[in-house]
Structure 1
Amino acid sequence: MSTDPFDAALDLLRRLNPKDTAVNVTRLCDLVPSLTEDLLESVDVPLAVKRDRKTGREFLCCDYNRDGDSWRSPWSNEFEPPLEDGETDSVMPSEKVRKMEIKANEAFDVYRELYFEGGISSVYFWDIDDGFAGCVLLKKSVSPSAKSSGSWDSIHVFEAQDRARRAHYKLTSTVILNLGSSSDNLGGMDLSGNMVRQVEQDMPVEDDSSHVANVGKLVEDMEGKMRNLLQEVYFGKAKDVVGDLRSIAPLSERNRDQAAHREMISGMSK
């Protein structure tokens, strides 16, 4: 039975270290060039950073602002590096959508400073039938010391379909988290992975500014929920595993507490 090359590539990426996804995608594209477009559209990788030569501001790159080997800046609405044949209409938002894109970038620049205290944000909108779509990108990288580092990349892709005084929003959010540290005594530790969540919601709309506020609320709520999941579920589980490997209190005390707990549960059941 033959295996589809694209499915095989995705299956391989799922088995490799999430920290090296960007490098592995590039290698797969070099190995099988026919899969390049499908892989770039389907696989979420840590966001790359470019600088807008016109404004001097940094912006984030993804498949939604890409045209070949150039990326559109949300600040100047121009491509970096410039396209040889000029800007193509197929990837440029209409005037109405571009105005909303500018407002959204201003709003999420404030959001980024409030919640991340640094980092980079970029918002891109484009036209679709019966409405518009867009993506909100946020990235922050830190290196507290020479032997520890971390990065947070969030990619929020949405569609907004206009209805009578309301709009239907469909949001797909991805968070890519990379944490690493090393020491001479313990060696290296790498904690990397991603999380994907979706939500659909109808919200009231009075004018174009309402869309920016609605998208901002959806992204804010989703990021809060995903951060809590990462902290409570994933890091909580890692803490439990470490606790099972090496207890802070002597094992004799821990075993005594567990025995008392089991005795109490047994007494309650009777």
Structure 2
Amino acid sequence: MADLVDSMLDLMRRLPPTHVEENVSALVQMCPDYADDLLGSVDQPLKVMTDKATGKDYLVCDYNRDGESYRSPWSNEYDPPLEDGTVPSSKLRKLEIAANEAFDTYREMYYEGGVSSVFLWDLDDGGFAGVVLLKKILTPAAPGEPSGSWDSIHVFEAAERGRQAHYKLTSTIMLQMVDRGAREGAKDAAPEGTRAGEVSLSGSMTRQTEQDWPLQDQTSHITNTGRMIEEMEIKMRNLLQEVYFGKTRDVVFDLRSVDDLEKQRRQRELQKELVGFIKR
């Protein structure tokens, strides 16, 4: 069993991230007995559902799934309905409601749109765990404009130790971007029915951290995890911008210069003259 699951996970790491949903579905059809192990180990883009009782949108993933049904954080009900579905204890449910309200504000501040959901569950050792989900989709306003999506999955465990709590946080960000724009004149050379200059970037990044924070009451868990998630998202966003997109830009510029060669030659000659004046 372990060897087969490891082989499927190894295969998923080598397949294009843009087709992760199709690839996971194909593997589940091939090995249905290991569907839970695969779905619990592979991060997929979050999907949006609407709570029929409240009319609010929420996100679905493996953490709020029970069989083929998904639990809403707003009404605490499963869709499709499930009589014996797993739900948090009454005490944890109150904290879950407050956490959803808090991270809904966080979503509006940082994402200016999108959807957020928080799900909590009890652990056997007396602590609890949870997941904070955030998703933002960029829909092109006109044909040819960029499109993309940002998915954040923050899974954490909380263990109370007197007046402190120890938190373990695992954060995954999945990013997809497609730029279908084409330079003027380039479309004439493209095959009919296609667009020249289309660029697609996608991938995921995972980081982990552990921290201890003071605990005054149950609502402190929301403040503490919120601070950790905020810091982690800022760090990961900076990594994406500086390392990954910076490297992509360098590669593109090495392949195709924006300026013409004659302009670059004149700039180099000017630099040499300036260096010569400085040495004098």
TM score, norm. by length of structure 2: 0.86
Q: Secondary structure at the match of 1:56?
A: coil
Cross-structure match for 1:110: 105
List structure 1 runs of 4+ shifted beyond 6 angstroms: 258-261
Give 1:249 shift. Answer: 3.5
Describe the superposition over 1:113-167 as per-residue Cα deviations: whole angstroms up to 9, x where unpaired. Answer: 1110100000000111231100000001112233431000000000000001000
Aligned residue type for 1:234: Y
Aligned residue type for 2:229: V
Q: Does the CA contact (< 8 Å) of 1:79 and 1:87 recur in 2?
A: no
Q: Given the alignment, which residue of 198, 203, 207 partners 1:188?
A: 198
Q: Given the alignment, which residue of 111, 114, 125 partners 1:119?
A: 114
Residue identity over aligned pairs, in percent, reads 56
Describe the superposition over 1:22-79 as per-residue Cα deviations: whole angstroms up to 9, x where unpaired. Answer: 1110111011111201111000000011111000111100111110000000000010
Give 1:245 shift. Answer: 1.4
Higher strand share: 1
Q: Given the alignment, which residue of 226, 244, 255 partners 1:216?
A: 226
Q: Secondary structure at the match of 1:107?
A: helix
Q: Structure 1 stretches of 5 or more lacking a match?
A: 265-270
Q: Secondary structure at the match of 1:44?
A: coil
Q: Secondary structure at the match of 1:152?
A: strand
Q: How does 1:158-173 map to 2 (within 5 A)?
A: 158-173=156-171
Give 1:247 shift. Answer: 2.2
TM score, norm. by length of structure 1: 0.89
Paired with 2:204 and 2:198, the residues of 1 have a C-alpha distance of: 20
Give 1:3 shift. Answer: 9.4
Give 1:182 shift. Answer: 2.3
Q: Secondary structure at the match of 1:226?
A: helix
Larger Rg: 2
Cross-structure match for 1:138: 134
Alpha-carbon RMSD across the aligned residues, in angstroms, is 2.2
Describe the superposition over 1:81-121 as per-residue Cα deviations: whole angstroms up to 9, x where unpaired. Answer: 101xx133xx2111111111111000000000111010000
Q: How does 1:24-103 map to 2 (within 5 A)?
A: 24-83=23-82, 86-88=83-85, 91-103=86-98
Q: Structure 2 stretches of 5 or more lacking a match?
A: 188-195, 276-280
Cross-structure match for 1:268: none
Give 1:253 shift. Answer: 6.0
Q: Given the alignment, which residue of 208, 213, 217 partners 1:198?
A: 208
